[in-house]
Chain A
Amino acid sequence: MNLLSILPVSASAYAQQVDALYLFLVGMSVFFLVLIGVLITIFSLKYRRRSAGEVPAKTRSHYQLEIMWTVIPLILVMVLFFWGARLFVRYSMPPNDAVEILVTGKQWMWKIQHPDGRREINNLHIPVDQAVKLTMTSEDVIHSFYVPAFRVKADVLPGRYTTLWFRPTEVGRYHLFCAEYCGTEHSLMGGLVYVMSKADFEVWQKADGGAAGVGQLSPAAAGEALFKAKGCAACHTETPAALAPSLHGMFGHTVKLNDGTEVTADENYLHESIINSQAKIVEGFLPIMPVFQGLLTEEEIQQLIAYIKSLTADKGEGS
């Protein structure tokens, strides 16, 4: 990194768009700062006090001037608002081809699960030109996933899922930081994001990731194993007499609840329904499911949700 450069490396198209806006802001700021500075210097020299008894003429109000320097900044900041807002909204919508990677923040490490089951701690390996969507949660306090090279950041909260996406365009190694103060070793909570060429990434994928056991299964497969091991399958059968609702085709669709309201079965709903099964019961069923709060780790819950999602993907959009 060039120490004299004022811009950090940028490794995505989005980062360059943010930089463009940033440079516009820098230019505008320099303009106004120089304007004010020059005016103050000129006035200070030209109107410096020459004798102790000097009394200048009375200040006259000048409303055209007041209106001018209210309206011009107003127009400028509106430009900034729309420019910033457009980027902000675009950044908040992950593209459909994004690969989903699960992230769990924990004092003081990042735990990462790839779709193929590979796991990493504090590092993230991804192929170049591939959109990546992170679905993130925390096991304890609030963290924040921050990759300066992509100009993206999102807080990671306990008890809910947040998302972040980027599409890296440059191969390289980039810093990963925790940006929300999270306790003693906050400044150590991070590592590197490795953006690899497609070929290198395949090599990396084939190599032994080092993780054993359930880590080698994809999150969905691990979730399926958990689904059986924890006895979920006993009630969530696909029979008409099932004691619990069918999970096939549920994800992403609207579910009617016992109290007549409707919710969308997204990650946050499924998370709540697993750890606190009594909260929102699907219409026609009894609140018989045990509460899993404290019995499953956040990673296990993410695997279960990945499994439930896969049930919808199998069935297609026909439900």
Chain B
Amino acid sequence: MSEAHSNNLAHHFETMEQQKQASSLGMWLFLVQEVMFFGGLFLGYVVYRSMYHDAFIAGSHLLNVKLGAFNTVVLIGSSLTIAFSVRAGQLGRNRQILGWLAATLVLGAVFLGVKGVEYAHKYHEHLMPGPHFHYDAAQHSAGAHVDTEAVDPHKVELFVSFYFAMTGLHATHMIIGIGLIVWLMVKAARRRFSSDYYAPVEVFGLYWHFVDIVWIFLFPLLYLIGRH
């Protein structure tokens, strides 16, 4: 192991321990800035939701809960697979790291595929914000317990704007994550990791969990609350 040790210790660190602590502190700080990044959007959502309560409830009926729930399960599953891959990293097993990363990649791709299907539906139903936006209460929000006839279509458009901004930003993070998975898979395939050096996998795991957690907040906020 001493060979891997010297290969993977960057010139400016004294010990592997110092290097590992630095990368994990770095990722936590990055996640702090991510919280602030999404925080601005969440704040806006909360403010508008309290201002335009009924329209936002009508808006949430535009979304397909089944697809959303399916995606939630997929994403939680991917959190499990990435955790397994970090565990494999601790044990220094490159093949297992590779396998679990591949599983995470597939689950991430499934999530994005389903998201794409949802976006396509919105497009066909003229629910993209902009000049072609058309909200038809009877058609779109059947079953809502608020008076959907009474809501202002503009406010529903506002809800849809938030839907696309928040899920779009989340999906962008997923796409970046998938790119990073591919990079880690290449490293694992070249057997670069060892029980001394698996910080990239661990740190990426933190990122992936964070992206999951964002979805765990988005799903109820956008799809569920307001639907009893």
Contact = CB atoms under 8 A, between A and B. Distances in A.
Interface of A: 258-259, 276, 278-279, 281, 287, 291, 293
Nearest to A279: B152
13 contacts: A258-B147, A258-B150, A276-B152, A276-B154, A278-B149, A278-B150, A279-B52, A279-B155, A287-B147, A287-B149, A287-B150, A291-B152, A293-B154
A259 B154 CA distance: 20
Nearest to B146: A259
A276 B157 CA distance: 14
B152 A281 contact: no
Interface in B149-208: 149-152, 154-155
Contacts of A259: 54
A281 B152 CA distance: 12
A205 to B, nearest CB: 41
Nearest to A281: B150
A288 to B, nearest CB: 10
Nearest to B151: A278
A279 B150 CA distance: 7
5 tightest CB-CB pairs across the interface, nearest first? A287-B150, A278-B150, A276-B152, A278-B152, A279-B152
Contacts of B154: 276, 293
Contacts of B152: 276, 278-279, 291
Interface in B126-163: 147, 149-152, 154-155
Nearest to B52: A279
Given A279-B152, A279-B155, A287-B150, 15 more contacts: A258-B147, A258-B150, A259-B54, A276-B152, A276-B154, A278-B149, A278-B150, A278-B151, A278-B152, A279-B52, A281-B150, A287-B147, A287-B149, A291-B152, A293-B154
Residue with the greatest number of chain A CB neighbours at <10 A, chosen from B54, B149, B152: B152
A280 to B, nearest CB: 10
Contacts of B149: 278, 287
Contacts of A279: 52, 152, 155
A259 B52 CA distance: 12
Interface string B31-65: 00000000000000000000010100000000000
Nearest to B53: A259
Contacts of B54: 259
Nearest to B149: A287
A291 B52 CA distance: 16
Contacts of A291: 152
Contacts of B52: 279
Nearest to B51: A279
A258 B151 CA distance: 13
Contacts of B151: 278
A293 B54 CA distance: 19
Contacts of B150: 258, 278, 281, 287
B52 to A, nearest CB: 8
A276 B150 CA distance: 10
A276 B54 CA distance: 14
A293 B150 CA distance: 15
Nearest to A291: B152
B76 to A, nearest CB: 36
Residue with the greatest number of chain B CB neighbours at <10 A, chosen from A276, A279, A287, A293: A279
A281 B151 CA distance: 10
A274 to B, nearest CB: 13
A50 B151 CA distance: 81
A293 B152 CA distance: 11
A291 B207 CA distance: 47
Contacts of A287: 147, 149-150
B109 to A, nearest CB: 42
A287 B151 CA distance: 9
A287 B149 CA distance: 8
B113 to A, nearest CB: 37
A35 to B, nearest CB: 40
